[in-house]
Structure 1
């Protein structure tokens, strides 16, 4: 019983009462320091005014009121500086707390978006796409991470044929929405929320349509091993600059992939080992400049690749063995 009562008495004290120990130590020390400082300033001011009074002819006595005024003024100025430093420190602490709170909120939003993208219902996954895109706009420090998650979704296994086993209802709309969201963020390179400088990894993704036209890709862009089947994938007037554009081992089978008027500059464009079959890939009016374009060991079987009115300037164009279709 005695132990229980003692705990009840100690609990509020330890839980709610502030620890005044440091204050009881710091306060006397601060008063002593302030008194010593004031005493030193007073003596310095007294000596200064005494010297000034002695230099006058005839010499005059020291005016104690002037000494006291100078001492109080100096102490007030020092106090104002210290108060300013204390206020600045409080502001930094408040900003740090606000930043941590924002980071925690953004992390919660990321968790929510990730959960939505993994939901069974397509409508919820669509909401996750928009949530993650908005988060990328608000969270510049982790924008690349958000982009990577959207690209990773496109890299997940996908069956585009509605009649084939494994096809998921509504999945095509989710994937097309991701492509639209990416394209929308690649239209204005100078915008604060532009994704143009970031990397995009579509390695092994399956595309059965999509519009990347007039987009500006300035980072590394990988379609390595991607499959373009059905529908039309459009890169018309798109700009690929400063990074590597990798279509190595990509498969173009069925559908159409358009690079009409696209610009490839300042980097490397790789189509090495790509397979072109039963579809159309057109680079008409495209511009290749200041870089390298490679099609080494690409395979053309039944498909069509056109470069009508394409422009190559300052570009090394490497075209390896490319079998011609039988009967062509």
Structure 2
């Protein structure tokens, strides 16, 4: 099986291309003459020469020098011809070696893929390891990508989940567990290769990984480094068993979790880093289980939770109630977008999170019943926006939060039914802006002492809230 045409370089698609020998020699001699003339004229200028001394008679020494010069020119021309011929022979030999290596790789590839289609789980397991070894030995980057594509494609194949097994059928369960081991081996091999330093000859950083639509019944990507390329988890389902992305680094490239479903179990992103790339959770559905972003750092690029639905379970960016011992997440650069997200059930914990740079937006988000907790969060820089957000039900806590820099904006936000609590929060710098906000003022936001009490510096609220007091 040969690599897809789209993944081959131009030279690999068309084979070895060399100039005609006559043209190559002409270009080589022309280049040599130009270089020699340049060197001569440079030396002539440095010596400040103004002409040549005429010689009416040539002695034997000068004649001998002329003869040596003539032989030197002839020898140099011959050396140039030999150099061109040797270069072309080397290129042909290298191309032949590459073709032979590619042929052998293709034969091994075909055998490994045949193993993946075997009915026996141990044979499939051997095929997985064989493909990983082929990826390590691949003579070109395109052939390595092809091996990775097949490994990921195996994970995408449909299979019978544990919940769908016939009750009391021991053979079906044994078969499921055996094939589950094969699927988890694919994940482990990908993880192990992504843990290698980029300069390692077997490192897979920079390649694409496509887990679109995969149902993850467990797995461990912890410590992997996705430092380029695209990692696709589009439409994947995390259900029933723990899956770890703990300490994973997404630096450059794209991590695509669009429309991913987190329906049960525990998914751990604790201590992960999202920097200088795109992590896309657009339309993700958090409907059950626990998803933990504790200790994660969002320091560049863009992270999208736009249109995500938080309808069950617990999603934690906080240092509390987490799967790991790390502190709260840190938003220190780039853009994090929760715009249009819906918080309708379950819990979303952002307590202890640090907002120190970049932009975090909850624009047009709907807080419709879930418990969202910013308790103890620190806002010390950047911009956090809740423009046009709706707080209609449930409880949203900003208690013990510290506003010491940057801007937190609730422009045109609506407070019509939820309990929004700013009790014991501290405003010592920056701006907290409720311009044109509608509804009832959040608890603990306005100072005690009635409408005449001065607002903390940096806090802006609608006049209607001031007239009614806390």
Residue-by-residue CA offset, 1:220-242 (whole Å, 9 max, x unaligned): 21111101112211011110111
CA distance in 1, matches of 2:370, 2:79: 92
Instruction: Name the counterpart of 1:189.
Output: 198
Residue-by-residue CA offset, 1:263-304 (whole Å, 9 max, x unaligned): 111223222222223311111111112233332332333311
Shift of 1:137: 1.3
Q: Tell me if the contact between 1:210 and 1:234 (Cα under 8 Å) persists in the aligned partners.
A: yes
Q: Tell me if the contact between 1:288 and 1:312 (Cα under 8 Å) persists in the aligned partners.
A: yes
Instruction: Name the counterpart of 1:132.
Output: 131
After TM superposition, the score normalised by the length of structure 2 is: 0.52
Q: Identify if the C-alpha distance between structure 1 residues 89 and 297 changes in structure 2 by more than 3 Å, giving closer, same or farther.
A: closer
After TM superposition, the score normalised by the length of structure 1 is: 0.72
Q: Is residue 256 from structure 1 mapped to residue 257 from structure 2 by the alignment?
A: no
CA distance in 1, matches of 2:112, 2:136: 14
Q: Is residue 299 from structure 1 mapped to residue 309 from structure 2 by the alignment?
A: yes
Q: Identify if the C-alpha distance between structure 1 residues 303 and 129 changes in structure 2 by more than 3 Å, giving closer, same or farther.
A: same
Which moves more between the two structures, 73-82 or 187-196? 73-82
CA distance in 1, matches of 2:86, 2:69: 26
Shift of 1:75: 7.0
Indicate the structure with greater helix content: 1
Instruction: Name the counterpart of 1:201.
Output: 210
Q: Identify if the C-alpha distance between structure 1 residues 327 and 249 changes in structure 2 by more than 3 Å, giving closer, same or farther.
A: closer
| Total equivalences in the alignment | 272
Q: Tell me if the contact between 1:189 and 1:216 (Cα under 8 Å) persists in the aligned partners.
A: no
Which moves more between the two structures, 300-309 or 86-95? 86-95
CA distance in 1, matches of 2:238, 2:226: 19
Instruction: Name the counterpart of 1:178.
Output: 186
Which moves more between the two structures, 79-88 or 194-203? 79-88
Instruction: Name the counterpart of 1:106.
Output: 105
CA distance in 2, matches of 1:69, 1:292: 69
Q: Identify if the C-alpha distance between structure 1 residues 84 and 259 changes in structure 2 by more than 3 Å, giving closer, same or farther.
A: closer
Residue-by-residue CA offset, 1:119-160 (whole Å, 9 max, x unaligned): 111111111111111111121322212111111111111223
Unaligned runs of 5+ in 2: 1-54, 167-171, 319-327, 347-368, 372-470
Q: Is residue 317 from structure 1 mapped to residue 337 from structure 2 by the alignment?
A: yes
SS in 2 for 1:324: strand
Q: Is residue 277 from structure 1 mapped to residue 264 from structure 2 by the alignment?
A: no
Indicate the structure with greater strand content: 2
CA distance in 1, matches of 2:191, 2:300: 25
SS in 2 for 1:185: helix
